[in-house]
Amino acid sequence: MITVYGIPNCDTVKKARRWLDERGVAYTFHDFKKQGVPETRLDAWIEARGWEKLVNRHGTTWRKLDPSAQAAVQDAASARALMLGQPSVIKRPVMEADGEVLVGFDEQAYARVAQA
């Protein structure tokens, strides 16, 4: 079972979902805006990929943060708190498939996971 987490209007999420749809890959979509960030899943992502990979420091949400709020993100706990409070700061999409966690859209990684 594949689950894609993100925000529907995000261009990278749209690209990933379109890629899956075009190949007939079944998946469930979890909308951060409507359903929030599942805390237990976030903890698993941090463990699997590291908080540094999950925090999108190039996105609009990060750039709009006060410099002191940006500086406060120094470890997994502070990053977790930020991601729960501001889901848009999470690099998207996050895909879970067969125990694997992918962050962002990488066509080769998606192809490998979709064939599993």
| Fold (CATH) for 2-115 | Glutaredoxin (3.40.30)
Parallel, antiparallel or unpaired: strands 100-103 and 94-97: antiparallel
All structural domains of the chain with their residue ranges: 2-115
20-56 burial by CB neighbour count: b if 16+ within 10 A, else e?
Answer: beeeebebebbebeeeebeeeebeebbebbebeebbb
The string of pLDDT tens digits covering residues 64-109 is 999 999 999 999 999 999 999 999 999 999 999 988 999 999 999 9
- pLDDT mean over 11-32: 97
Split at pLDDT 50, 70, 90, the class of 116 is low
Q: How far apart are the first and last CA of the chain?
A: 10
Q: How confident is the model over 23-78, as pLDDT tens digits?
A: 999 999 999 999 999 999 999 999 999 999 999 999 999 999 999 999 999 999 99
Return d(Cα 25, Cα 108) in angstroms, integer.
14
DSSP 9-51: T-HHHHHHHHHHHHTT---EEEEHHHH---HHHHHHHHHHH-H
Active-site option among 2, 10, 16, 20: 10
Phi-psi category of residue 12: left, alpha or beta, with phi > 0 → left and psi -120 to 50 → alpha: alpha
Active site residue 10: yes
| pTM summary value | 0.93
Over range 11-26, report the average pLDDT.
97
